[in-house]
Chains A and B, each alone.
Chain A
Amino acid sequence: MERKACYFLLPMASTDKETEIELARDLLAGNMGAFDRFVEAFHSRLFQYTMLVCGQREDAEEVAQDTLLKVFENFGRLREPEHVRAWVFRIARNACLMKRRKSTFAPTQELSLDELMPVAGDRGGERKFELPDRAELPDTKLLRSELKDVMTEAIHSLPDLYKTVLLLRDVEELSTEETAGILDVSSDVVKTRLHRARLAVRQKLDGYIRAGAN
């Protein structure tokens, strides 16, 4: 039998982390010419994160700006510019927690692996995946627009424990170890939460995933 070695493995993420690292090194070296680009590089990224965590635009903008302020207040303590993104998002995470403590405290909620398994269908007991026919789906442009809304809702509706891991690992493309460091949990906990978060999002995106994959 021919091996399909690593056929399904995810590709390495292509990111602009290198640019961020260079900008951080420049600032640490006192080159203030990198300041505007550093702010540009992180402001939108931080806003995306805080928007999905906080849910309200006003809160998200406030927390993103607070995070930038704390980043620059503590910039002299940045020891490893190669991990600048993880360092910035640790500060963002803490800023979100502070904001959350000041507002309604949402209870933590666990996602069960069993509930995320695909359901058994009726084709003689064979599993089937409940995906609509592509012909029933809207055109590509509308699909993309709707997909963004569905994605936003799918991610935002995740319990906070899972949402944060998904955002840091998949959206911000931080490593398992970096994410574990930010959240002060073990790497195994990060892996478990990430898997359940991805499964929960997949469950909510069924039809859109099928259309995009064809």
Chain B
Amino acid sequence: MRGADPRLDAIDRELAVPLESAREAEERVWAALRVTPRPRPAPFFGLAIGLAAVVALLLAIGWTQGVRVGVASGGLPTLYRLEIGRVELDTPDARGTLAVGERYLRDPNRLSAVADASLRIQQAALPAEVEVRFLEQGQTAHGVLARTARITDAGRDGVRITHEAPFPPLARGERRTYRVWLHLTFSHGERSSPRLVVEVSGAAEGQRVRYIATE
């Protein structure tokens, strides 16, 4: 117990005496502290940095997957996907792809569901006709989103055909399921790609499209 041993009391007294060097050291350390940039982390600074890093990582991953951010005039940022699904056509006469996605097409403030076709037709297969066809669920007759008819001229490596075809407009809250495919007509017969089944819906920011299946 303190105070019971005079030797220990003597030690305590000696240790309690401030060191003479304290005064000079106090000024030196204070001077050093005044020039040292003092860390002053805001309480939420670390959290904000972490959150921003996670968002940046997600955006980077999304970017590689075709996800983009768009800001319509005066609106909030909107995430959209350049491509939600694709099918390929690979025949001796023609090779190509049909992809479906969403992006700002004609109106910079409204998203559109778009079918993009890109294919090359061999010179020997001409003449030909290319259609991007769609069939609404519950209907028996298909429609055509885009068409190039009477393709007759081609270079040595064939002819390249591209289409950027928006889906039919929908009112806000409306929802339709479509089958979409490439259809080629040659003089010697017809070829079709597999069918993409997608759901297109009308939303405040425009049309959104969702992949359902490939048939």
Chain A bound to chain B: no
